[in-house]
């Protein structure tokens, strides 16, 4: 029987490390031209040969006896894998002619390789797998991954089932649902630190961990003079962005790939802190944005040393959530996560549009929330508020003379942290082919909705405080309902 050493393949050290691991799930995130697919194909061969004594004895009722899928987002990716499999798999393992029409290859002892495009998710179900191979996993939709990983838990195959997914970094955020992490990045991150145990069930191989690759810039190109020249050409190519270079050559999985961030000098090690917790000594501000797709509520406090603390967030991803439903969820969330809250110290702030009736609903948002016990302060939007908020937000990110931060965010605020890390980007205006950045946030949900809550807090609490100080030219007046009953307040 052939072994991996007999195959015409001389792995690089970073590829050999992949093959040496007995992990059942291997996630390989590395730059372009680092031999990911070649490693995938040869690791697949090793798996087939190693487990052949086990699976070749299976009953003929299990068909095929050894079932392997190769999956990619597009047919072009599958074609490349097809060529690699034919080039590197020993001919002795094939049991007949490959079927190009069916995209299948019969394997000795009743096994079969099948090639599937994820474009049609109907073809990603109905079969149990012994091995799942995914190429360019960064391009594969989360929905396809959710279907595929369940293929490896069939009772008659679970003992042998393995997963190998490779890809170039394509950002940490799921492009179809920006409130979630991209699945491939999440799997790589979940497996980090465990690969030292070769028998551990998870595996990860992430190029960005420079310690594992001797601080070289690319595991293959950096090894030759020609390769180093190619790296420098890409680095200095004006048509090859810094972001693309960092992903494709540096193997970095970046928090965002959207555009130029409005945030400067955000330092997670300093600005993200467990100390951003509710203190009963100070007022709590819940700031509401009532977007129909991504309503957002953020929780803020100002401590005695004027530290701005972002202590919580609530961003339900539900279509057409009624204002009363949102209010109920926020109330439940508040008491569940902050049981020591003094209700008299809670101040709710929202946009002035909350006073207007929308669609065919009988109550305004202010009226609906009042019926749930929430007295909403509403503030008209003024020209320049957004630019002012951006300016003051960046000013708050500067450290004090003693090195302490002016703003801290609790680690539970995942979306706020992502927003600060690059999801708030400048709106770009193009005139006569020339792009310019404007002091506005691009309207990408849910990030613009979260930013609007920060803007309202900055303008109404940080910029001018207190909000009912007559000397500041701002007053609070009561809003009444149809029967003259007080239902809310308005800052003017």
Please say if the pLDDT value at position 340 is more than 80: no
Return the exposure string of 464-480: e unless at least 16 CB atoms fall within 10 Å of the residue's CB, then b. Answer: eeebeeeeeebeeeebe
Quote the pTM value: 0.63
How confident is the model over 360-405, as pLDDT tens digits?
Answer: 567 788 888 888 888 998 878 788 889 989 999 999 999 998 899 9
Q: Mark whether 215 and 328 lie in a shared domain.
A: no
Shortest CA distance to 96 belongs to which of 85, 105, 88?
105
Return the exposure string of 340-362: e unless at least 16 CB atoms fall within 10 Å of the residue's CB, then b. Answer: eeeeeebbbbbbbebbeeeeeee
Indicate the pLDDT class of residue 128, thresholds 50, 70 and 90.
confident
Q: Mark whether 214 and 305 lie in a shared domain.
A: no
Distance, in Å, from the CA atom of 333 to the CA atom of 397, rounded to the nearest integer, reads: 28
Give a yes or no: residue 261 inside a domain.
no
User: What is the structure's pLDDT at 93?
Assistant: 94
Please say if the pLDDT value at position 177 is more than 80: no
Indicate the pLDDT class of residue 277, thresholds 50, 70 and 90.
very high
Q: Mark whether 315 and 181 lie in a shared domain.
A: no
Indicate the helix (H) or strand (E) that contains 204.
Answer: strand 202-206
Q: Peptide bond preceding 370: is omega within 30 degrees of 0, i.e. cis?
A: no
Mean pLDDT over 205-210 rounds to: 80
Comparison of pLDDT for 198 and 89, the residue scoring more: 89
User: What is the structure's pLDDT at 68?
Assistant: 95
The C-alpha angle with vertex 35 and arms to 253 and 9, in degrees rounded to 5, equals 155
User: What is the structure's pLDDT at 466?
Assistant: 41
Give a yes or no: residue 263 inside a domain.
no
User: What is the structure's pLDDT at 467?
Assistant: 38
Mean pLDDT over 345-362 rounds to: 79
Comparison of pLDDT for 351 and 285, the residue scoring more: 285
Please say if the pLDDT value at position 246 is more than 80: yes
Residues in the chain: 492
Distance, in Å, from the CA atom of 119 to the CA atom of 140, rounded to the nearest integer, reads: 9
Helices (H) and strands (E) in the chain, counts: 13, 19
CA 465 to chain CA centroid, nearest Å: 36
Instruction: Kindly report the average pLDDT of the chain as a whole number.
Output: 84
Count of CB atoms situated within 10 Å of the CB of 54 = 12
Give a yes or no: residue 260 inside a domain.
no
Written as one string, the DSSP assignment of 216-262 is -SSTTGGGSHHHHHHHHHHHH-TTS-HHHHHHHTT----S--SS-BS
Helix residue ranges per DSSP H, 89-118: none
CA 141 to chain CA centroid, nearest Å: 12
User: What is the structure's pLDDT at 92?
Assistant: 92
Q: Mark whether 217 and 307 lie in a shared domain.
A: no
Please say if the pLDDT value at position 13 is more than 70: yes
Give a yes or no: residue 69 inside a domain.
yes
Q: Mark whether 16 and 157 lie in a shared domain.
A: yes
Last residue of one domain, picked from the residues 182, 205, 221:
221
In the three-class reduction of DSSP (H, G, I as helix; E, B as strand; rest coil), residue 434 is classed as: strand
Mean pLDDT over 9-35 rounds to: 91
Give a yes or no: residue 256 inside a domain.
no
User: What is the structure's pLDDT at 209?
Assistant: 76
Mean pLDDT over 172-187 rounds to: 83
Q: Peptide bond preceding 466: is omega within 30 degrees of 0, i.e. cis?
A: yes
- In eight-state DSSP terms, residue 58 is S
Radius of gyration of the chain (CA): 28
Last residue of one domain, picked from the residues 157, 191, 221:
221
Domain with 277 in it: 268-491
The C-alpha angle with vertex 328 and arms to 323 and 330, in degrees rounded to 5, equals 90
Comparison of pLDDT for 105 and 244, the residue scoring more: 105
Mean pLDDT over 54-73 rounds to: 91
The region of weakest confidence among 149-153, 186-190, 339-343, 457-461 is 339-343
Written as one string, the DSSP assignment of 333-354 is HHHHH-TT--GGGEEEEEEGGG
Give a yes or no: residue 303 inside a domain.
yes
CATH number at residue 196: 3.40.50.300
What percentage of the chain carries pLDDT values higher than 90?
41
Q: Mark whether 163 and 272 lie in a shared domain.
A: no
**Do residues 159 and 129 touch, judged by C-beta distance below 8 A?**
no
Please say if the pLDDT value at position 314 is more than 50: yes
- As to burial, measured by CB atoms within 10 angstroms (0-12 exposed, 13-18 middle, 19+ buried), residue 142 is middle
Q: Mark whether 211 and 317 lie in a shared domain.
A: no
Please say if the pLDDT value at position 201 is more than 70: no
Largest CA distance in the chain: 89
CATH number at residue 427: 3.30.420.280
The number of distinct structural domains making up the chain is 2
In the three-class reduction of DSSP (H, G, I as helix; E, B as strand; rest coil), residue 373 is classed as: coil
Q: Mark whether 182 and 299 lie in a shared domain.
A: no
Q: Mark whether 459 and 373 lie in a shared domain.
A: yes
Q: Mark whether 198 and 115 lie in a shared domain.
A: yes
Any idea which residue has 């003024």 for tokens?
382
Indicate the helix (H) or strand (E) that contains 142.
Answer: helix 142-149
What percentage of the chain carries pLDDT values higher than 70?
85
Give a yes or no: residue 246 inside a domain.
no
Going from the C-alpha of 449 to that of each of 24, 287, 386, 452, 455, the distances in angstroms are 41, 11, 12, 5, 10
User: What is the structure's pLDDT at 31?
Assistant: 93
Count of CB atoms situated within 10 Å of the CB of 279 = 17
Q: Mark whether 217 and 274 lie in a shared domain.
A: no
Indicate the pLDDT class of residue 224, thresholds 50, 70 and 90.
very high
Give a yes or no: residue 237 inside a domain.
no
User: What is the structure's pLDDT at 196?
Assistant: 44
Going from the C-alpha of 284 to that of each of 133, 280, 389, the distances in angstroms are 50, 8, 20
Distance, in Å, from the CA atom of 45 to the CA atom of 400, rounded to the nearest integer, reads: 58
Q: Mark whether 332 and 195 lie in a shared domain.
A: no
Mean pLDDT over 7-18 rounds to: 85
Indicate the pLDDT class of residue 252, thresholds 50, 70 and 90.
confident
């Amino acid at each position: 029987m052939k072994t991996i050493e007999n195959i015409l393949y001389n792995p690089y050290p970073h590829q050999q490390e992949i093959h040496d691991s007995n992990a059942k799930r291997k996630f390989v995130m590395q730059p372009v031209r680092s031999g990911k697919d070649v490693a995938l194909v040869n690791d697949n061969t090793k798996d087939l040969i190693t487990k052949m004594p086990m699976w070749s004895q299976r009953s003929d009722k299990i068909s095929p006896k050894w079932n392997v899928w190769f999956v990619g987002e597009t047919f072009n990716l599958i074609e490349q894998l097809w060529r690699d499999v034919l080039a590197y798999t020993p001919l002795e393992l094939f049991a007949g002619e490959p079927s190009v029409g069916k995209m299948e290859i019969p394997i000795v002892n009743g096994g079969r390789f099948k090639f599937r495009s994820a474009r049609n998710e109907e073809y990603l179900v109905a079969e149990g797998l012994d091995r799942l191979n995914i190429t360019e996993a960064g391009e594969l939709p989360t929905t396809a991954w959710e279907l595929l990983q369940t293929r490896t838990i069939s009772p008659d195959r679970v003992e042998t089932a393995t997963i190998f997914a490779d890809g170039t970094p394509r950002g940490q955020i799921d492009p179809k649902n920006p409130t979630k992490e991209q699945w491939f990045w999440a799997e790589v991150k979940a497996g980090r630190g465990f690969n030292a145990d070769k028998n551990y069930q998870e595996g990860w191989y992430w190029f960005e961990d420079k310690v594992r690759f001797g601080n070289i810039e690319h595991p293959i190109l950096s090894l030759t003079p020609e390769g180093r020249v190619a790296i420098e050409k890409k680095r200095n190519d004006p048509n090859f962005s810094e972001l693309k270079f960092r992903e494709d050559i540096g193997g970095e999985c970046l928090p965002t790939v959207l555009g130029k961030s409005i945030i400067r000098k955000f330092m997670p090690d300093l600005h993200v802190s467990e100390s951003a917790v509710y203190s009963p000594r100070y007022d709590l501000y819940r700031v509401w944005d009532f977007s129909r797709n991504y309503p957002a509520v953020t929780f803020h406090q100002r401590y005695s040393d004027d530290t701005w603390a972002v202590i919580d967030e609530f961003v339900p991803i539900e279509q057409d959530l009624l204002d009363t439903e949102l209010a109920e969820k926020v109330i439940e969330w508040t008491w569940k996560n902050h049981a020591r809250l003094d209700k008299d110290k809670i101040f709710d702030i929202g946009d002035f549009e909350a006073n207007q009736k929308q669609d065919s609903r009988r109550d305004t948002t202010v009226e609906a929330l009042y019926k749930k016990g929430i007295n909403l302060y509403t503030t008209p939007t003024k020209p320049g508020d957004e630019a002012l908020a951006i300016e003051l937000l960046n000013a708050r990110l500067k450290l004090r003379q003693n090195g302490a931060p002016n703003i801290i965010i609790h680690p539970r605020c995942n979306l706020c942290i992502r927003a600060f890390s690059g999801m708030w980007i400048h709106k770009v205006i193009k005139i006569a082919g020339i792009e310019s950045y404007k002091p506005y946030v691009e309207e990408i949900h849910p990030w613009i909705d979260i930013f609007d809550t920060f803007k309202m807090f900055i303008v109404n609490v940080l910029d001018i405080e207190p909000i009912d100080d007559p000397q500041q030219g701002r007053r609070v007046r009561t809003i009444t309902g149809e029967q003259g009953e007080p239902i809310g307040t308005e800052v003017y």
